[in-house]
Amino acid sequence: MWQFIQGVSQPGKNHPTEKRKYNHDYDQNKRKREFQLGWLETRPWLTNDHEGGMKCTYCIELGMQNSFLTVCSSLKIDSIKKHEQSDGHKRAAAIALAKSKPNYNCQAAKTLQYKEVKLQLLEQY
């Protein structure tokens, strides 16, 4: 019967908004969030800012506009996951990965390899 009356919860049960308010109060007043070192194992781009937040090194290098460019102070795994899924971070991560891998297919790299091999052969004789 209680389910048909709007705005009234069943006696003995908390209304959903009361529960959300309690969770919000708990997060704001009682819970102390800290940077988890385990996050660094799977996210090499994440850095702990000593001002009480975290930053993304990939996005900083490329000057992306997002909350991880400045200090993100929420210290929640959900914030990190949301940032990982952002288009800006995906682009920055792809560029960082491309920079970290040598490109042996371009002409300049082939020329350098050829010169290095040639120098090694000349040094042997």
Residue 88 has pLDDT above 80, yes or no: yes
**Confidence grade of residue 125 (pLDDT, cut at 50, 70, 90):** low
pLDDT at position 38: 86
* Cα–Cα dist 78/103, whole Å: 35
**Confidence grade of residue 19 (pLDDT, cut at 50, 70, 90):** low
Question: Is 101 part of a structural domain of the chain?
Answer: yes
Secondary structure letter of residue 3 according to DSSP = G
Question: Is 79 part of a structural domain of the chain?
Answer: yes
* Cα–Cα dist 2/97, whole Å: 57
Q: Which residue has the higher pLDDT, 33 or 30?
A: 33
Count of domains observed in the chain: 1
C-alpha closest to that of 77 among 42, 106, 124: 42
**103: number of CA atoms within 13 Å, CB side?**
8
pLDDT at position 99: 78
Least confident residue range of 1-15, 33-47, 65-79, 92-106: 1-15
Question: Is 30 part of a structural domain of the chain?
Answer: yes
Residue 23 lies in domain: 15-124
Question: Is 7 part of a structural domain of the chain?
Answer: no
**């969770």: which residue's tokens?**
23
**Confidence grade of residue 56 (pLDDT, cut at 50, 70, 90):** confident
Residue 28 has pLDDT above 60, yes or no: no
Judge whether 96 and 90 are in contact, CB under 8 Å: no
Q: Hey, is 24 helix, strand or coil?
A: helix
Question: Is 1 part of a structural domain of the chain?
Answer: no
Question: Is 8 part of a structural domain of the chain?
Answer: no
* Cα–Cα dist 74/69, whole Å: 14
Tell me if the pTM is above 0.95: no
